[in-house]
């Protein structure tokens, strides 16, 4: 299941195997973002890493980071970002 928010509207998709996941994501989220390059990167990340549920929000953040050349993130949710090899994840307790 993919879940995201577009403004105040919640959008959910369940992939039951009857359709290609990229087609489901593409038709449902085609108007999701005002920056198409972030959307395309987000879609690639969601499909490549099999992102589900609330983790789609993290994937969108990572997509924006990658598009804008940001390589590090400071977060208390280290495990949520470890799936992305191009992002260096730091926990608050790691900062001096």
d(CA 51, CA 28): 16
CA–CA gap between residue 68 and residue 33 (Å, rounded): 15
Task: Of 56, 54, 90, 58, give the one whose Cα is nearest residue 75.
Answer: 90
pTM above 0.85, yes or no: no
Query: How many whole angstroms separate alpha carbon 80 and alpha carbon 21?
Result: 21
Domain boundaries, the chain: 2-69
> Over the stretch 26-47, which tens digit does the pLDDT of each residue have?
444 444 445 788 999 999 999 9
What is the per-residue pLDDT across 49-71, written as a single tens digit (0 to 9) for each? 999 888 999 999 999 999 989 99
């Amino acid at each position: 299941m993919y879940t995201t928010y577009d403004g105040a509207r919640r959008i959910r998709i369940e992939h039951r195997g009857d359709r290609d996941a990229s087609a489901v994501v593409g038709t449902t989220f085609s108007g999701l973002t005002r920056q198409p390059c972030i959307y395309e990167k987000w879609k690639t990340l969601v499909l490549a890493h099999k992102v589900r549920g609330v983790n789609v929000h993290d994937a969108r953040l990572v997509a924006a980071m990658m598009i804008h050349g940001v390589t590090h993130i400071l977060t208390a949710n280290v495990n949520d970002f470890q799936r992305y090899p191009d992002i260096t994840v730091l926990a608050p307790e790691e900062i001096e």
